[in-house]
C-alpha cells in the first residue's frame, strides 16, 4: 500500500487531495462532529454535485474543499472530490479519498465497487478480495457485486469460485452480456475447460465482434490449446483492427516462440520496443524475449533481458523480497516444530470418506507441474493445481483455534480441553474448500496440491494430513535460479524479484525442510527432477509405490494428458520430456556467480556439483 506519509496536520495532505492533512489522511474519526451539526452544509454539497455534473469542476472542487474543511466526513463532497482527482489522474489522492468513503460508510456499494476495481488494477488482489466479498454482502442481488467476485477469484487463481459468481451474474441479470461471457471464457480456460471456453468466446464475438480484450483472450486460449493456426487467424484479425497493439504483439511473439519460429518472434518484440517512446519493453515482454534468446543460444543477451525484466517489475510493483518477514517466520517455524513438542501435539484424524491430498512440494519452477501432470494422468489421481488453502489456514488458524497467538504458536491451543480437536476443523476447512472448487471426480482417491513452497508449512501439513504423501521435487539449485530469473512469480514473499533474494529464500526453505525432516516422522519422498528426465519410468514407479497405487502407463505419456496446467510451465509440459531443461545453468555459469556462495553448501548437501 502506498499510503502517503503524514507530516504536519496543518500542512496540505501529502496525498494531494487538496485538503489539510488533519482533514484528510491524518483525520481523527473519533473527533468528528455528529452528522446533524453539519446539515446546513448539505446545500453546498448539492451545489458541488450540480457543478461537477455540468462540467464546472473548478467550482465543484472549491465547494468540496470548503465543505470538507468543516465536515471532513460528508459523503457527497468526498465522492465528488474523488471523481475530480480520479479524472485528473491523481491516483494517490483518489485512492486515499475512496478508502475514506468506504471506511466511513462500509455499506456504500458504488464506492466499494470503485475501490475493488482500483485495487485490482494495481494488482492488490488479496485486498481487493476483501472488498469484493463485502460488495456481495451489501448487495447480494446486484450482478456487479458477483462480477467483482468473478474477476477477483479468477485473477486470484481460484477459478472455480470465480465461475460460480460469473454464473450468478448471468442468472441475476437475465442477459448474456458479451464481455461477461468473455470473462467467463477466460475463467474456464484457466480451469483447462478449453471447449466450453471456446464456445463462449464464439458467442461473445458474435454479439460484439470488435472487443479487443475478448479477441486477445480467445487468441491466448487457442495458443494454450496448441491450435496455432486458429490463434494466428485471430491475431491477424486484431492486427487489422488495432495495428501495433502491444498486447497483440506480445501474444504473437509468444505464439511464434511456441511454433519454434524464434527469429520472427524476436522481430515482433523488436517492433514492440520500437513503439515505446524510449524503445523499451515491459516485464512480460522482456521475460519472453529472454526465453527466445535462450532458445537461440544467445545467453548473455538472454540474461540481460531477464535482469532488466526483474528490475522493471521491482520498479513498477514496488515488490521486493520481504527478507525480515521470511527470516522471522522460518526461525519461528524451526523453533516450534521440534520433536519434544511434537510428541505432545495431537494429529488430525484421517478422513476415509473423501479423496485425500498428495502434496507436490518444491520451489517455484523446480518441476512441480511436471510431477503433477504425470501423477494426474493416473486414473486414481486428479490435479488440484496450486491450492492456496494451506496458506489460508496459516492465516485463519489463530481465529479458528481462538488463540491470541499467531501461526505457528497458535497450535499451542491444541493443548486446551476445548481445542484439542482443532486440527480436525482445520483439515475439514481444507477439504471442504477443495470440494467447492469442483476438482474432485467420483473415481479419484487422491488429488494433488502443488502450491509451490508449501514445504515451508511441512510441519502443519503433517499435523493436518498425517497420511498424505509429501512429494518434494528437488532440482539443481542453479537450474532453479535460471528458472527464477527467467519467469515472474510472487511466491515466496517476492523472493524472485532478484536473483540473490531467490537464492537466499531457497536456502532458507531447504534448511527448514531439513529441520522438519530431522524432527518429525513424515511421509516424505524427495524426487529429483533430473531423475524424472533421465529415468522417467523408474521415477514414476517409485512415486506411485510411495503413494501406494499400482503403476499406470498413462503416467509416462503425460504430455498427452489433456489437462491444461495454468502455471508458467504449461508450454513445457505439453512437450515430451526433454534434456535441455537439465543443467541449463551451465549456460549461465558466469551470470550466476553472485549466488554461488549462497547456494554452494546446499548444492553439496543435495548431492549436486557445479561443473
Partner 1 sequence: MALDSSDQGAVMVPVPARDVLLLAGEKEQAGQLAEAERLLGYLLSVTPNLPDALHLSGVVAFRLGRPAEALDKMERAISLAVDPSLYLRNICEVYRVMGRLDDALAAAERAAALRPSDPVCLHNLAVVHNERLEPEQAIAVAERALLMAPDLAGAHFAMAESLLILGRMERGWAEYEWRFRVPSGQNSMPKTGKPDWDGSAFSDAHLLLVADQGFGDVIQFARYIPWVAERCPNYAIACAAELVPVLRQLAPAERLFQRWEQCPSFRMICALSGLPRLHGTRLETIPAAVPYLRAEPARVAAWRERLDRLAPPGLARVGIVWAGRPTHANDRRRSVTLGQFAPVAAVPGVALVSLQKGPPTSQAGGYFGRAPLINIGAEVQDYDDTMALLECLDLVLTVDTSVAHLAAAMGKPVWIMLAYAPDWRWLLDRSDSPWYPTVRLFRQSVHSHWNDVFARVAAALRDWVAARR
Considering the complex, state which of residue 243 and residue 607 has its C-beta at the smaller distance from partner 1: 607
Which cell goes with 254? 509468444
Taking the C-alpha atoms of residue 66 and residue 72, their distance in angstroms, rounded to an integer, is 9
With contact defined as beta carbons under 8 Å apart, do 19 and 12 qualify? yes
CB of 546 to partner 1, least distance (A): 5
Long-range contacts of 110-113 (CB under 8 A, 24+ apart): 110/79, 111/79, 111/82, 112/138, 113/144, 113/145, 113/148
Considering the complex, state which of residue 218 and residue 336 has its C-beta at the smaller distance from partner 1: 336
Residues 6+ apart with CB under 8 A from 236: none
What is the DSSP annotation of 485-537? HHS---HHHHGGGSHHHHHHHHHHHHHHHHHHHHHS---EEEEEHHHHHHSHH
Please report, as ranges, the residues that interact with partner 1 according to CB under 8 A.
Answer: 339, 342-343, 350, 466-467, 469, 474, 513-526, 528, 531, 541-542, 545-548, 605-607
Considering the complex, state which of residue 4 and residue 466 has its C-beta at the smaller distance from partner 1: 466
Taking the C-alpha atoms of residue 74 and residue 105, their distance in angstroms, rounded to an integer, is 11
Considering the complex, state which of residue 178 and residue 477 has its C-beta at the smaller distance from partner 1: 477
CB of 96 to partner 1, least distance (A): 48
> For 262-271, b where at least 16 C-beta lie within 10 A, e where not — what string?
beebbebbee
CB of 538 to partner 1, least distance (A): 8
Considering the complex, state which of residue 349 and residue 436 has its C-beta at the smaller distance from partner 1: 349
**Three-state helix/strand/coil letters over 344-403:** CCCCCCCCCCCCEEEEEECCCCCCHHHHHHHHHCCCCEEECCCCCHHHHHHHHHHHHCCC
Considering the complex, state which of residue 116 and residue 509 has its C-beta at the smaller distance from partner 1: 509
CB of 525 to partner 1, least distance (A): 5
What are the CA-CA distances from residue 300 to residues 31, 192, 293, 366 (Å)? 61, 36, 9, 23
Which cell goes with 503? 537464492
Taking the C-alpha atoms of residue 535 and residue 334, their distance in angstroms, rounded to an integer, is 34
Which cell goes with 294? 535462450
Taking the C-alpha atoms of residue 401 and residue 422, their distance in angstroms, rounded to an integer, is 6
Considering the complex, state which of residue 52 and residue 528 has its C-beta at the smaller distance from partner 1: 528
CB of 524 to partner 1, least distance (A): 7
CB of 575 to partner 1, least distance (A): 26
CB of 435 to partner 1, least distance (A): 22
CB of 491 to partner 1, least distance (A): 22
Q: Cα dihedral sign for 391, 394, 395, 396?
A: positive
Taking the C-alpha atoms of residue 161 and residue 156, their distance in angstroms, rounded to an integer, is 10
Which cell goes with 590? 558466469
Considering the complex, state which of residue 15 and residue 555 has its C-beta at the smaller distance from partner 1: 555
DSSP state of 89: T
CB of 362 to partner 1, least distance (A): 13
With contact defined as beta carbons under 8 Å apart, do 36 and 49 qualify? no
Considering the complex, state which of residue 263 and residue 545 has its C-beta at the smaller distance from partner 1: 545
Which cell goes with 168? 450468478
CB of 223 to partner 1, least distance (A): 37
Considering the complex, state which of residue 23 and residue 472 has its C-beta at the smaller distance from partner 1: 472
CB of 510 to partner 1, least distance (A): 9
Considering the complex, state which of residue 299 and residue 516 has its C-beta at the smaller distance from partner 1: 516
CB atoms near residue 201 (< 10 Å):
26
Amino acid at each position: 500500500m502506498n499510503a502517503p506519509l503524514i507530516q504536519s496536520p496543518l500542512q496540505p495532505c501529502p496525498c494531494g487531495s487538496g485538503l489539510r492533512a488533519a482533514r484528510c489522511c491524518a483525520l481523527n474519526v473519533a473527533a468528528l462532529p455528529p452528522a446533524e451539526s453539519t446539515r446546513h452544509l448539505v446545500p453546498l454539497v448539492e451545489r458541488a454535485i450540480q457543478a461537477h455534473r455540468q462540467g464546472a469542476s473548478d467550482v465543484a472542487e472549491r465547494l468540496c474543499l470548503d465543505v470538507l474543511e468543516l465536515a471532513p466526513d460528508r459523503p457527497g463532497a468526498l465522492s465528488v472530490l474523488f471523481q475530480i482527482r480520479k479524472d485528473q489522474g491523481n491516483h494517490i489522492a483518489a485512492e486515499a479519498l475512496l478508502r475514506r468513503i468506504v471506511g466511513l460508510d462500509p455499506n456504500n456499494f458504488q464506492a466499494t465497487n470503485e475501490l475493488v476495481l482500483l485495487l485490482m488494477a494495481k494488482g492488490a488482489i488479496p485486498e481487493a478480495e476483501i472488498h469484493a466479498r463485502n460488495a456481495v454482502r451489501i448487495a447480494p442481488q446486484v450482478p456487479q457485486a458477483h462480477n467483482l467476485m468473478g474477476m477477483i477469484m479468477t485473477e486470484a487463481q481460484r477459478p472455480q469460485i470465480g465461475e460460480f459468481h460469473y454464473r450468478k451474474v448471468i442468472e441475476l441479470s437475465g442477459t448474456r452480456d458479451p464481455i461477461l461471457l468473455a470473462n467467463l471464457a477466460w475463467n474456464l480456460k484457466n480451469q483447462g475447460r478449453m471447449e466450453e471456453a471456446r464456445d463462449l468466446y464464439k458467442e461473445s464475438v458474435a454479439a460484439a465482434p470488435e472487443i479487443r480484450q475478448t479477441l486477445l483472450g480467445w487468441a491466448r486460449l487457442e495458443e494454450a490449446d496448441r491450435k496455432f493456426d486458429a490463434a494466428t487467424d485471430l491475431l491477424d484479425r486484431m492486427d487489422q483492427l488495432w495495428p501495433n497493439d502491444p498486447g497483440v504483439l506480445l501474444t504473437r511473439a509468444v505464439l511464434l516462440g511456441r511454433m519454434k519460429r524464434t527469429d520472427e518472434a524476436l522481430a515482433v518484440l523488436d517492433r514492440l520496443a520500437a513503439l515505446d517512446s524510449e524503445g523499451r519493453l515491459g516485464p512480460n515482454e522482456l521475460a519472453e524475449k529472454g526465453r527466445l534468446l535462450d532458445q537461440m543460444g544467445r545467453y548473455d543477451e538472454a540474461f540481460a533481458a531477464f535482469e532488466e525484466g526483474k528490475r522493471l517489475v521491482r520498479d513498477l510493483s514496488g515488490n521486493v523480497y520481504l527478507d525480515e518477514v521470511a527470516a522471522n517466520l522460518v526461525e519461528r517455524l524451526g523453533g516450534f516444530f521440534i520433536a519434544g513438542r511434537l510428541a505432545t501435539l495431537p494429529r488430525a484424524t484421517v478422513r476415509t470418506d473423501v479423496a485425500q491430498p498428495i502434496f507436490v512440494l518444491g520451489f517455484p519452477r523446480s518441476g512441480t507441474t511436471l510431477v503433477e501432470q504425470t501423477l494426474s494422468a493416473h486414473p486414481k489421481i486428479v490435479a488440484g493445481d496450486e491450492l492456496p488453502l494451506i496458506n489460508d489456514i496459516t492465516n485463519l488458524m489463530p481465529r479458528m483455534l481462538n488463540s491470541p497467538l499467531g501461526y505457528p504458536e497458535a497450535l499451542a491451543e491444541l493443548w486446551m480441553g476445548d481445542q484439542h480437536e482443532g486440527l480436525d476443523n482445520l483439515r475439514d476447512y481444507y477439504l471442504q474448500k477443495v470440494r467447492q472448487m469442483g476438482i474432485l471426480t467420483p473415481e479419484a482417491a487422491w488429488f494433488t496440491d502443488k502450491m509451490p513452497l508449501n514445504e515451508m508449512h511441512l510441519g502443519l501439513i503433517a499435523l493436518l494430513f498425517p497420511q498424505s504423501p509429501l512429494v518434494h521435487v528437488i532440482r539443481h539449485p542453479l537450474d532453479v535460479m535460471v528458472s527464477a530469473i527467467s519467469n515472474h512469480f510472487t511466491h515466496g514473499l517476492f523472493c524472485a524479484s532478484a536473483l540473490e533474494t531467490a537464492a537466499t529464500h531457497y536456502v532458507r526453505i531447504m534448511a527448514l525442510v531439513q529441520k522438519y525432516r530431522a524432527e518429525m516422522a513424515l511421509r516424505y519422498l524427495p524426487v529429483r527432477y533430473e531423475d524424472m528426465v533421465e529415468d522417467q519410468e523408474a521415477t514414476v514407479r517409485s512415486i506411485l509405490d510411495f503413494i501406494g497405487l499400482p503403476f499406470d502407463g498413462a503416467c509416462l505419456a503425460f504430455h498427452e494428458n489433456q489437462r491444461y496446467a495454468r502455471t508458467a510451465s504449461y508450454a513445457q509440459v505439453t512437450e515430451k520430456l526433454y534434456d535441455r531443461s537439465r543443467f541449463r545453468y551451465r549456460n549461465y555459469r558466469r551470470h550466476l556467480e553472485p549466488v554461488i556462495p549462497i547456494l554452494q553448501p546446499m548444492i553439496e548437501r543435495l548431492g549436486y556439483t557445479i561443473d
